[in-house]
Chain A
Amino acid sequence: MRQRKVYIELMIVVLGFLSVWMLLSQIDFRAYWSIGQKGQQLEEKIGDLIWKDLSNSYDVIEDSMAIRPLSHILKRLCDSNGLSPENFQLAILDNKEMNALALPGDRLVIFSGMILECQQAEEVAGIMAHEMAHILEGHVMEKIIREIGLSVLIGMTTGGGPESIGQMSKLVLGLAFDRTVEEEADDIGIELMQKAGIDPEPIANLFFRLGSENEASVPVWLSTHPGPLERSVDLARQLREDTTKYIPLMSHEEWQKLKEPFLSNN
C-alpha cells in the first residue's frame, strides 16, 4: 500500500516537472529576449571591425572584370545548395600571399596570390566552398571566442583600441582550426561543389600540390590547415566513388585570361 503511494507520488512529481517544463517551452523566450539577434549583431560587428582593419592593411580589388567570374562561381554554389548569395560577401584582397579566410558576419575573403596559384577555376571554387562551409557551420566565431574570450570580444566592440582589433585581425588571418573542423569543412565543401555540378577533384589536387612543397614555401592558407597531404588523400578516397561526369567551369585558356587582372595588380 505504501509502496503504491510512493510510485503514485513519484509519478505526480515527475509529471509535474515535465508539465511545467513543456508549458514553459511553448513561450518563445528567444524572440522575447532577442537572443539570436544579439549574437548575430555581435558577430556582424566583429566581422566589420576585422574587415575594416584588413581593408586598411591590404588593397581591395574592386575591378568588376576580376570579381565577376568569382561571383558567378559563388552564385552557382549558393543557388544549387538553396543558399542566398547575398548572405556571403565576397572580397578579394590584393596580396601575393596564398590565403583565403572566412570572417564573422559571413564575409569570404580570398587573396589574389591564392587565385594566381590555382591552376583551374574548380580549385578556386573548392576554396570558396571550403570557406563557405566554415561560415555555414559557424566555425570562425566559435574559434575566435575560444581564443580570445567572449568578454574581451564584447569589450572590443564597445570601445576596443585599434591595437586590439589589429591583434584580432592577425588572429583571424592565421586562425588554425583543428583537424575535426577542417575535415568537416572539407566534407561540406565537397557536397556544396557536387550539388553545384562542379568537379571537386581539383581541390584534392590543390591540397596535394601545395602540401608537397617544402615547409618554407607552404602557403599561409595551408599552414593553418593541418595535414594537407593526408586530407588530399582522404578527399581523393572520398571522391573515388563519385562517378559523375562534371562539365568544366571554364577552359584552361579562359582561366588563364581570368587571372590576368590579378597578375597586373601583383
Chain B
Amino acid sequence: MRRFCIKLVLFVIILVPAVALFAFLSTTDSFRTPIAELTHSDDYITINNGPDEIGPYIDKAREHNNYTKLIIGDSVCHQMYTDLQEYNDEICILGSNAAISMAGQYVLLHEFLDNHTDVTDVWLIIIPSSMSVYFDTQYGYQYVVMPNVEKDTIRIFEPNTVEQLGSVYGKLFLNEGVVWFLDRSAPARKIYLNLLLKYGEGFGDSPMSPVSVQYMTDMIDLCRKKNVNLHLLPSPVSEANKDRYERALTGFRENGFDKFFPDYEAAVVYYPDDQFRDGVHFGGEYDNQASFNEKIRQLGDESLLKYLKFE
C-alpha cells in the first residue's frame, strides 16, 4: 500500500506538469489551432467573439483625429449607422454590442473624450432592452471583462463595478495574465465559460440593471463636466418584443432617466416583426442602408440629422 501511495504521488507529479505543458502549448501560435481542434474548442477562437469584437472599438475611440462628435450604441446601432462612417468625417461611429453593458459604453465615451478635443455631441443610440443588460454568466466575461482588461480600460470602471465583476467572474479572472491565457487558449476558455454558465450567478438582473443606472448617470456627469451634449436615441424595434421593451422603459422611468431624456420613450418606433431576421436586427429586404437611412430620418432627431451625412 505504501509503495502504491508513492507511485500515486509520482503519477500526479508527472501528470500535472504534462497537463500544464499542454495548457501552455495551447496558447502558442504553433499549437494553438491543432490543440483547439483536438479538444473540439476551435470555435472558441475562430468565431468572432467578445474581445476580438470589442477591442477594435476601444482602439478607434482612442485614435487621435478630428472627430468632434460620437455615436455609440448597441448592435442595432452598429447595423444601421456603421456604413455611414465613410461619409462622416465629423462623427465617429462606434455602434458596438449591448453585451458590453453601459459600463462598456461609458468606457468608449471616456476614451473618446480623453483623446479628442472640441467634442460637442454624443449620441447614445440603443434599443430599450439594452438598458437591461447586466453582468450575466453567459456573455459578461467575454464582452465586459476581457476587452477592458486587455485594453487596460478596466481602471475606468468604478471600484464597486470591479468588485461586482470579481464576485460574478472570480477576482482571479480579472487578472491580466489570466485574461490573456483565456483569450489565447481555446480549451481553457471553453472550460471556464462553461463552468461559469453552469455554476456561476449573475449580478443585477432587473428591468433597468444597476450597471445601466450607474453608468448612464456617469455618462451624464462626464458629458456635463466636458461640456458635451449627450443625446439618448432609440433604435427601431420589433412589435413582437414590445413587452420586453416596455419592461425596460418602466425601469428607465422608475430610475428617473425620463427627466434627463424626456423624448426617448416617445421616440421608440415599433415595426412589424417580419422586417427583422431575429426579432432585433433588420433582415431580408429591410437590411440595407437605404432602408436604415429612411428610418433614421423618420426618427426626426434634429441634433443628429443636422450633422449626420447619408452620402
**A interacts with B:** no
List residues of chain B with CB under 8 Å of any chain A CB.
none
